[in-house]
Structure 1
Amino acid sequence: MMVSSPFGGGRAPGGLPRLPTPPTGWPIGSYATYGEAQQAVDFLAESEFAVGDVTIVGVDLMLVERVIGRLTWGRVLGTGAVSGAWFGLFAGLLLGLFVNQGFALQVLTGVVLGVLSGLMFAAIGYSMSRGRRRDFSSASQLVAGRYDVLCQPRSAEQGRELLAKLALKPPPANP
């Protein structure tokens, strides 16, 4: 008798686990940036290595929040108007498709109402938090201290040998 998981268990199409699982494999390379790790895997692929056995793992994860600028009424209202205009455009297009009269008028009405509602919601939200917290705008990014390339044991030694050849190649000349 076989018992199945309510989540389906096993693997999803493409061989990926259905539920979050720790990575497996042996380390065959370690890199300071994701770009370097990606370049290493690209090199393995170009060398006709079984890259389906490879995983890039970010180690020592950090959430980095880069401050973009100070929030002002102008910036808040401008952002609210733009996001409202996009939503209004979408709503106006949908309305215009289903109403047989005045397609352009339906779209224009949607954009105008979207801008007004975007302005209203942005103003209310900003006025409620003004001066108390987050008087700046920022962008968050998840980064790692290093990126390890792991490989399943059956082909790890071959992967190490190929990456050692990559490390010996001279860096490309920048014009």
Structure 2
Amino acid sequence: MPEVFSLEYPQSLGVFDQYTDAQKAVDFLSDNKFAVENVLIVGTELRQVERVTGRLTWRRVLMAGAGAGVWLGLFIGLLVSLFSDGSSFLSAVAGGIVLGLVFGVTSAAFGYAATRGQRDFSSVQKVVATKYEVLVEHKLLAQAQELLATMPGRTPNPFA
């Protein structure tokens, strides 16, 4: 079975600044009965973007650990209560929550202390492409170029 994310001899059909533009080009090819199973959209010039969401303090770290621990404890308490008799339902759930709380706060504290102030902020990260290249199987390149040249609003790409 051939690899789904590869072409035998890919050739560049065009380079786009936005993913939606590359998607529109492939959609146009598809609408014109082109064999789009011979096309790849490849994100290139990758960047890692990190958005800082806030300052980390001991209070925030411990509160987040407590919240995560309570949810974990609630889940474990409910699981344990499924296998116990009906009279101990509340004690199983409450015990799970308390143990989860202790575990969550303790693990968060150890994790934050281990950083020794090297990273006193919270953030989210994402890898994004800055260009999107549409590749097509070499034997279909001329046909794809001819079709794409008829696409309304399409300006020729000098980098393709």
**How would you bin the TM-score normalised by the shorter chain?**
0.7 to 0.9
Structure 2: gaps spanning 5 or more residues: 155-160
Aligned to 1:57: 42
Q: Which amino acid aligns with 2:4?
A: L
* In structure 2, C-alpha distance between the alignment counterparts of 1:148 and 1:49, rounded to whole Å: 18
Question: Kindly tell me: are residues 25 and 126 of structure 1, through their superposed partners in 2, closer, same or farther at Cα, counting changes over 3 Å?
Answer: same
Post-superposition offset of 1:142 = 1.1
**Greater C-alpha radius of gyration:** 2
Equivalent pairs, count: 153
Higher relative contact order (CA 8 A, sep 6+): 2
Matched, 1:71 2:56: yes
Question: Kindly tell me: are residues 27 and 105 of structure 1, through their superposed partners in 2, closer, same or farther at Cα, counting changes over 3 Å?
Answer: farther
Matched, 1:85 2:73: no
Post-superposition offset of 1:122 = 0.7
- Does structure 2 conserve the Cα–Cα contact (< 8 Å) formed by 1:24 and 1:150? no
3-state SS of 1:144 partner: strand
Percent sequence identity over matched residues? Answer: 45
Matched, 1:128 2:114: yes
Which of residues 93, 99, 117 is equivalent to 2:103? Answer: 117
Post-superposition offset of 1:71 = 0.9
Give RMSD over aligned pairs: 2.8
Matched, 1:144 2:133: no
Aligned to 1:160: 145
3-state SS of 2:119 partner: coil
Q: Which ranges of 4 or more aligned residues in structure 1 deviate by more than 4 Å? A: 21-24
* In structure 2, C-alpha distance between the alignment counterparts of 1:22 and 1:61, rounded to whole Å: 21
